[in-house]
Amino acid sequence: MGKRRALGLLLCLLLLLCTACGGRTQNDTGDLHCTVTIECGTVLGHMDELSPDKAEIIPPDGVLLPETVVAFSEGDTVFDVLQRVCRAQGIHMESNWTPAYNSAYIEGIGNLYEFDCGNLSGWMYSVNGVWPDYGCSSCTLHDGDTVVWSYTCDLGRDVGARQGEP
């Protein structure tokens, strides 16, 4: 009986420690929310430039992910949320780390990659209608933010991003 009781106490202590160590703080509970949309509608006007094997993956309305509410924690970035929502929705996403910019670079979403629709094509993001000029893993989110990932065929001009232009 003594061994059984000691084992029971040990298990209770282990569970208590796991719960205490694995718990989140109040500010890290995922109580913050943002909306995320992933769109590639610009491709619809450039189908002649699109890699032939990619035509079947472009949705008729150009929307890979309609506006979706995503919970996140304090300190999460646009990249963190993109990874989470793509994983949850079964959307393929590929990125790499770019040391020169100290940030993640999104190579492709939904199997649509940079340069699939011309030399000036690729993925860009906006937060609350603003197109940051830094990487998505450097952009910290705030409660209520609206994130839109847009595929551009013209270095952002076709989606309203005019970085570096007057």
Mean pLDDT over 90-102 rounds to 94
Q: Confidence band (pLDDT; 50, 70, 90) for 163?
A: low
Between 19 and 166, the more confident residue is 166
Nearest to 84 by CA among 7, 76, 162: 76
The region, left, alpha or beta by phi > 0 then psi within -120 to 50, assigned to residue 151 is beta
pLDDT at 15 over 50: no
Share the mean pLDDT of the chain: 86
Mean pLDDT over 60-83 rounds to 97
pLDDT at 26 over 90: no
Rounded distance between C-alpha atoms, residue 70 and residue 78, angstroms: 11
Say what the pTM is: 0.80
- Residue-wise pLDDT for 108-149, tens only, equals 999 999 999 999 999 999 999 999 999 999 999 999 999 999
pLDDT at 59 over 50: yes
Q: Confidence band (pLDDT; 50, 70, 90) for 3?
A: low
CA 114 to chain centroid, in Å, comes to 16
Q: Confidence band (pLDDT; 50, 70, 90) for 30?
A: confident
